[in-house]
Amino acid sequence: MTPDKEKTFNNNTHLQFWEKGHKTKLTIDGVEKKIPSVSVIPKLDNTFMIASRSARKVMGNKLIEKIDLDKTTQWQDVTELTDFIAEIKRESEAVWTKTSEQGTAIHSFYEQVLKSILDGANGMPSYPTGESEEVKMYRRIFYQLYDYSVKKIKQVFNVEELIYSNNLINTITGKPMHYSGIYDNVVMHSEYGKVLGDLKTGTKKSNTSSFPITTAGYMNAYCQNNNCEPFDRLITFVDRESNPVEIKEFYYPVSTYKTHLKIFQNYLEIYSFLNEKKK
């Protein structure tokens, strides 16, 4: 399968990335090695449990939506009940898939906006037309994101770059730990100056605790690849359920970088240990 992105570092190091599953393959002097991406490291290879908790929540909400409390005891037999549960499963899966697709679409739109600014065009990318509730939701978010970008983003340096790091040392083994990632952007922000930015979508109930950790991981690799000093980090968070649309910024000044990077390194060590045990 053709990788979505690939890049060569220092002539002998080649990195390939597949968006599906966030899978990465590193080749050093012809030797292949799978390495984790920044986005999965804080999950400690527990993506199944994280996904299953989210799926259970979706299914629970769908059950509450579909059950008629006056008729819960009126299924005639096990077959009727089984068919009802199967329908709930199908509709829950559709909700799960739709949520993922919405996040991808919003991210893609923002990427197009930033690339337009980078090219000096500053134009509004195309957006969906129609009167369905989903299309209206997209338009609300796209209009707000575009307005946010015009007001807040004064310059764009990079968009969607593949990065790689091997400069964090495992404190137990003494060996370098490899990881990669794709950061969203490096921009000049009207309030915070130059920042490494990442776009996230979610709701008011979304867990934001990993934001400073993942951005520190991206920053470390970015600085290694570009031979530069760290600078500020910023998460732009879009609440896709709010109306009017709420865009919130999570700002992490460079003074917090060392602390957050140390936490990221700890996560990477644990991740490495858990995956070493699988071999």
For the chain, give every domain's residue range.
5-278
Q: How confident is the model at residue 147 (pLDDT cuts 50, 70, 90)?
A: very high
Q: How confident is the model at residue 163 (pLDDT cuts 50, 70, 90)?
A: very high
The DSSP element (H or E) to which 48 belongs, if any, is: helix 47-66
Determine what percent of the chain is predicted with pLDDT higher than 90: 46
The 10 Å CB-count burial string (b at 16+, else e) for 126-159 is eeeeeeeeeeebbeebbebbbebbeebbeebebb
Task: Give the tens place of pLDDT for each residue, 225-277.
Answer: 999 999 999 999 999 888 889 999 999 999 999 999 999 999 999 998 887 75
Q: Which residue did the predictor score with more confidence, 89 or 240? A: 240
**Spatial distance between the Cα atoms of 141 and 238, rounded to a whole number of angstroms:** 8
5-278: which CATH topology? Answer: Lambda Exonuclease; Chain A (3.90.320)
Reported residue count of the chain is: 279
Determine what percent of the chain is predicted with pLDDT higher than 70: 78
pLDDT at 51 over 50: no
pLDDT at 103 over 80: no
Bond prior to 3 in cis (omega within 30° of 0): no
Using an 8 Å Cβ cutoff, are 61 and 20 in contact? no
Q: How confident is the model at residue 84 (pLDDT cuts 50, 70, 90)?
A: low
CB neighbour list of residue 217: distance below 8 Å, 6 or more residues apart:
38, 41, 165, 179, 181, 261, 264, 268
Q: Which residue did the predictor score with more confidence, 3 or 62? A: 3
pTM greater than 0.75 = yes
> What was the pLDDT predicted at 100?
63
**Spatial distance between the Cα atoms of 21 and 24, rounded to a whole number of angstroms:** 9
Hey, what amino acid is at 236?
A: T
> What was the pLDDT predicted at 47?
45
Q: Which of 76-90, 168-182, 189-203 has the lowest mean pLDDT?
A: 76-90
Q: How confident is the model at residue 133 (pLDDT cuts 50, 70, 90)?
A: confident
Mean pLDDT of 22-31: 86
